[in-house]
């Protein structure tokens, strides 16, 4: 992929195809000016992993919220104002000393948009989707997350309507941090389950 955004000599074939379909759908009244921005802007500006991080931090500081989150994830996430497309049926899965959770969609790239935004490329690529169900420890180790041998791995293949969010373990020595400071520690990858905060 070209990284020169300044003066491409000629549009790539994929750019010409996108422009062709956009022009034809615009002429037929199916794409209005501003439509592309309208569809995407929220995911570029508002909806991303900071939402999920707020959910995790709340669960770390508030045991009652944690219980509600694990009992009815969709409702507890909605308490913080997050929900909508690809988040209507949420399942939060909790890491413990004995179980580590990791999320995938082997058939496409299902992902909890309201709490994590749009998925990163590696989550959508064949290597991750093919391998993480069969050799998750190896995949996680390659991504920098070593698991102890006595930890069971639970892999969640998002094949139907449920969307998954991993609740990581709170790092040791962070008990005196505020909820906002804790949220800063929570990464997208920790909530997919390929990293720890």
Closer residue to another protein, CB minimum distance, 132 or 183: 132
16 binds another protein (CB under 8 A): yes
CA neighbor of 8 nearest in space, from 122, 36, 19, 44? 19
H or E element that contains 184? helix 179-185
- With 0-12 / 13-18 / 19 or more C-beta atoms within 10 angstroms meaning exposed / middle / buried, residue 138 is exposed
In whole angstroms, give the CA distance from residue 77 to residue 54.
9
Candidate ranges 49-57, 63-71, 113-121, 172-180; the one touching another protein (CB under 8 A):
113-121
Catalytic residue list contains 105: yes
Site for another protein in 172-191 (CB under 8 A): none
Q: Does 50 sit near another protein (CB under 8 A)?
A: no
How many other C-beta atoms can be found within 10 angstroms of the C-beta atom of residue 45?
Answer: 8
Cβ proximity to another protein: between 125 and 179 the closer is 125
Q: Can you tell me the distance from the alpha carbon of 87 to that of 77, in angstroms, rounded to the nearest whole number?
A: 9
Nearer residue to another protein within complex by CB, 55 or 102: 102
| 107 lies in the binding site for another protein (CB under 8 A) | yes
Phi/psi for 37 (5° steps) reads -65, -45
Closest by CA position to 47, among listed 74, 85, 76, 104? 85
When asked if residue 108 is in the footprint of another protein (CB under 8 A), the reply is yes
Catalytic residue among 109, 145, 158, 178: 109
When asked if residue 40 is in the footprint of another protein (CB under 8 A), the reply is yes
Least distance (Å) between residue 47 CB and another protein: 10
- Which spans of this chain sit near another protein (rule: CB under 8 A)? 1, 13-25, 28, 30-31, 35-36, 38-40, 43-44, 48, 89, 91, 104, 106-109, 117-118, 120-122, 124-131, 133-139, 142-143, 149, 151-162
């Amino acid at each position: 992929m070209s990284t020169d955004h300044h003066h491409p000599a000629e549009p790539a074939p994929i750019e010409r195809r996108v422009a062709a379909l956009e022009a034809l759908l615009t002429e037929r009244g199916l794409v209005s000016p501003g439509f592309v921005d309208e569809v995407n802007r929220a995911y570029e500006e508002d909806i991303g992993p900071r939402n999920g991080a707020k959910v995790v931090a709340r669960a770390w500081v508030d045991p009652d919220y944690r219980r509600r989150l694990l009992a009815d994830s969709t409702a507890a996430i909605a308490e913080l104002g997050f929900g909508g497309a690809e988040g209507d049926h949420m399942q939060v899965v909790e890491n413990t000393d004995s179980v580590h959770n990791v999320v995938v969609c082997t058939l496409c790239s299902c992902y909890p948009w309201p709490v994590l935004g749009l998925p990163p490329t590696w989550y959508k690529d064949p290597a991750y989707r093919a391998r993480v169900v069969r050799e998750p420890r190896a995949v996680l180790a390659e991504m920098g997350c070593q698991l102890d041998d006595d930890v069971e791995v639970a892999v969640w293949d998002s094949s139907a309507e449920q969307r998954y969010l991993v609740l990581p373990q709170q790092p040791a020595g962070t008990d005196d941090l505020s909820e906002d400071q804790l949220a800063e520690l929570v990464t997208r990858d920790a909530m997919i389950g390929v990293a720890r905060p």
